[in-house]
Structure 1
């Protein structure tokens, strides 16, 4: 695993996110999970959270500025953590494994909540910045580092734009999540990589 990929893995695990006491946190997680089951992301309001969790509104706002921040903390607890960086195999194998795992996670049980979270933030720049930093930046950093590894291994052309290739692999996953349009899921993610390589593979 290269230094860039290790750095990308660290970016997926923000260490400076504040946490309340375990008792408060567990109550908020349990209440949020119940609200997600009842009505998805938009059922998660601070008022509903206060009623179900028994945590005061003052305490909620002490630790979370809005429901997007609550959701970002809770999604991994309720639906499991997002995929980590593969450690074995060629750069191309690790790239394929990671992008497929990201598509599987986004298209799984967490998907409807993530879709609501992303939609809710479109008119709220501060929340959108938080979502980018805490949810989107990790996968983008990881994929970019894996694409760079594939360039180093000679699988992808050296003059490829790493950011463009990263967007080509990840953006369709989130587009399908938000719109329901276009091929989604692990098989579609794997197909995108195969088709992409036709255009960016190094000429022999």
Structure 2
């Protein structure tokens, strides 16, 4: 595939190819071992293009996950609190399951790398804000603890218990949180 050279300006087609390549590699078994070389080869760009726009492979991978999260996570279901919350959690759990290896690696790296910590914090903040917004739209007062419970379960399963982030778990959690919302 030939793209017009744009110098230091970011070519949107190349950017999208890079993010798509990173997302595809993350989803493969062993996604934690993704390299800049592998991303560049799959995207059809040079490594220098990636390093010009992102400081590390983790930055590319997190950017790819952020984009996928915006596209993949459903924020509305049937218009009811139980329906919308279930749709949100089912899609959130599915996305986390697809990116499980990378998210676990990113969480570990964030313990010692300030840049990784900032990127992971940005990613999780966007998802928490989306869930908070959903709960507020349904009139749930003080939704902060419900948001923490939802993501606490997700991250606990991701990092500690290694239980699946499956549809049944998301539906069960949505039912529990709906009862706790007490509206």
Instruction: Give the TM-score normalised by structure 2.
Output: 0.73
Are residues 51 and 82 of structure 1, via their aligned partners in 2, closer, same or farther at CA, if it must alter by over 3 Å? Answer: closer
Q: Which position in structure 2 is the counterpart of 1:28?
A: 18
- Measured in 1, the distance between the counterparts of 2:87 and 2:43 equals 38
Residues 23-70 of structure 1: per-residue CA shift (max 9 Å, x gap): 5336534654675447312x2233554566664443322100111211
Q: Secondary structure at 2:72's aligned position in 1?
A: coil
Gaps of 5+ in 1: 1-18
Q: Secondary structure at 2:172's aligned position in 1?
A: helix
The answer (yes or no) to whether the contact 1:76–1:82 under 8 Å persists in 2 is no
What's the offset of the Cα at 1:166? 0.7
How many equivalent pairs are there?
A: 174
Are residues 199 and 123 of structure 1, via their aligned partners in 2, closer, same or farther at CA, if it must alter by over 3 Å? Answer: same
Residue 179 of structure 1: which of 144, 160, 166 is its match?
Answer: 160
Q: Secondary structure at 1:86's aligned position in 2?
A: coil
Q: Secondary structure at 1:122's aligned position in 2?
A: coil
Gaps of 5+ in 2: 1-8
Q: Which position in structure 2 is the counterpart of 1:137?
A: 125
Q: Secondary structure at 1:123's aligned position in 2?
A: coil
Aligned-residue RMSD, C-alpha: 3.3
Instruction: Give the TM-score normalised by structure 1.
Output: 0.66
Higher relative CO (CA 8 A, sep ≥ 6), structure 1 or 2?
1
Q: Which position in structure 1 is the counterpart of 2:115?
A: 126
Residue 35 of structure 2: which of 35, 38, 45 is its match?
Answer: 45
Q: Which position in structure 1 is the counterpart of 2:173?
A: 192
